[in-house]
């Protein structure tokens, strides 16, 4: 397997964390690209993913891109039933929450983090307070749904971590960083869940150190 990946990216983090969690990371030829230097324009990545985006995983004659389906493929490949259940009810729950996080919850969180952390880190200008305010309102709307779901649950699907947590919790490190100004107030269940997730060994070893250091 060959993985095109990059530092900082929550999407790359989730795929790398799954590889570690499943004990597959040592089987992967890792190509860690400097996106700011334009390394994603290289021909081998373009051949694997015409979007020129990471993460992209090449497995034999299969080119896998988009983080969530890649995580499911890896879990099924490893037969990781506890981590990514295959029964119809559980698989629907996984797919539903994965779709939800991309379209709603993490989209709002990304909009906030872009303004408060990414732009300052890369010298892209001052945060746009109007955008932050709008994204924060959207974030609260969907965070209320997640917080209610986590009531009485340690993780997204119950008492053990699953691939769903790595998907929905992809921005945990950013959200918990005070500089992100993520509006987590009033969402105690999310905060506690983020903290539990950050303590999972495979998740902890993929924390975006560069961005965290830059924010200190």
Quote the tokens at residue 13: 């983090």
Residue ranges making up the domain that contains 57: 2-78
Q: What is the pLDDT of residues 36-89, one digit of tens each?
A: 788 889 999 999 999 999 999 999 999 999 999 999 999 999 999 999 999 999
**For residues 118-123, average pLDDT:** 84
Is 13 in the same domain as 112? Answer: no
> What average pLDDT does the structure give for the chain?
94
pLDDT at 36: 75
Residue 47 sits in a domain of what CATH number? 3.40.30.10
**For residues 169-173, average pLDDT:** 96
Q: Is residue 6 part of a domain?
A: yes
pLDDT at 211: 52
Cβ-contact 164, 93 below 8 angstroms: yes
Closest CA to 177 of 132, 112, 130: 112
**For residues 160-177, average pLDDT:** 97
Closest CA to 164 of 172, 154, 156, 173: 156
pLDDT-based confidence at 212, cuts 50/70/90? very low
Q: Is residue 152 part of a domain?
A: yes
């Amino acid at each position: 397997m060959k993985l095109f990946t990059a530092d900082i990216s929550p999407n790359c983090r989730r795929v790398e964390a799954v590889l570690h969690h499943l004990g597959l990371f040592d089987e992967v030829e890792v190509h860690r690209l400097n996106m700011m230097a334009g390394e994603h324009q290289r021909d081998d990545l373009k051949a694997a993913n015409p979007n020129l985006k990471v993460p992209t995983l090449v497995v034999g004659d299969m080119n896998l891109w988009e983080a969530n389906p890649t995580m499911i493929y890896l879990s099924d490949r490893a037969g990781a039933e506890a981590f990514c259940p295959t029964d119809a009810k559980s698989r629907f729950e996984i797919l539903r929450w994965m779709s939800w996080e991309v379209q709603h919850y993490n989209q709002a969180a990304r909009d906030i983090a872009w303004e408060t952390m990414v732009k300052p880190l890369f010298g892209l200008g001052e945060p746009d307070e109007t955008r932050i305010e709008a994204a924060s309102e959207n974030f609260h709307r969907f965070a209320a749904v997640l917080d209610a779901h986590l009531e009485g649950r340690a993780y997204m699907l119950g008492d053990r971590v699953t691939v769903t947590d790595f998907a929905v919790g992809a921005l945990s490190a950013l959200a918990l960083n005070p500089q992100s100004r993520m509006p987590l107030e009033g969402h105690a269940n999310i905060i506690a869940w983020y903290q539990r997730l950050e303590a999972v060994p495979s998740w902890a070893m993929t924390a975006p150190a560069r961005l965290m250091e830059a924010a200190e």
